[in-house]
Amino acid sequence: MTAPRWPLIYAVTAAIAVAILAALVAVAPRADGRIDWTAQMVDGGWMAWTLPIALFFYTIACLLVLFTLLAIHFPETPRTGILRIETTRGDRLFISLLGSAFLSLAWLAAFGAPLTYALILCLAYAAAVFRWV
């Protein structure tokens, strides 16, 4: 097997990701020439897609692809953190995402919408998980 050309692989993946993002924005419904964030993306309401949720799943998908590539490029070595369980990079991503979901719900129950500050809290939490867990 020839040595993989990593810069090329990353570039192609990034290009595909950007293309999908551009396609999402292109098909986003518009009102008065601006993006209508809350309108249905598919006529007839198939799966009830809206742009914010589409971007949410897009972000998750990109994270999964990125971490898969990273796991192949730099093989994961499990380590034991403050939870006293062995975790790999992928495990820490999962813990970050699951914990963020609970943090957002807790924020919603305590302070209500919007979740802007909750997002900052989640990012801080994710950083802490990647550093110490």
Partner 1 sequence: MDKTQNNRAWFLVLPVLVLVAFSAVVPLMTVVNYAFNDTFGQNRFFWNGLGWFQDMLASERVHGALGRQVLFSAIILTIEVPLGIFVALNMPKNGFWSSFCLVLMALPLLIPFNVVGTIWQIFGRVDIGLLGHSLAALGIDYNYTNDALDAWLTIIVMDVWHWTSLVALLCYAGLQSIPQAYYQAARIDQASRWSIFRYIELPKMAGVLLIAVLLRFMDSFMIYTEPFVLTGGGPGNSTTFLSIDLVKMAVGQFDLGPAAAFSLMYFLVILLVSWVFYTVMTTLDRQEGK
How far is it, in rounded angstroms, from Cα 21 to Cα 29? 14
Is the separation of the CB atoms in 81 and 87 below 8 Å?
yes
- Of the candidates 23, 31, 39, 127, which one interacts with partner 1 according to CB under 8 A? 39
Q: Is 26 in the site for partner 1 (CB under 8 A)?
A: no
Of 72, 82, 127, 128, the one binding partner 1 (CB under 8 A) is 72
Distance between CA 96 and CA 125 in Å, rounded? 7
By CB under 8 A, is residue 74 in contact with partner 1? Answer: no
At 107, which amino acid appears? W
Smaller CB distance to partner 1: residue 23 or 108? 108
With beta carbons less than 8 A apart as the criterion, state whether 126 and 96 touch. yes
Which of 49, 58, 67, 125 is the binder for partner 1 (CB under 8 A)? 49
How near is the Cβ of 99 to partner 1 at its closest, in Å? 9
Kindly tell me the burial class for residue 12, based on how many C-beta atoms sit within 10 Å of its own C-beta (0-12, 13-18, 19 or more): exposed
| CA angle at 13 for the pair 52 and 49, rounded to the nearest 5° | 20
Nearest CB to partner 1, comparing residues 25 and 101: 101
Which residues are at the interface with partner 1 (CB under 8 A)? 1, 37-40, 44-50, 52-53, 56-57, 72, 85-86, 94, 98, 101-102, 105, 108-109, 112-113, 115
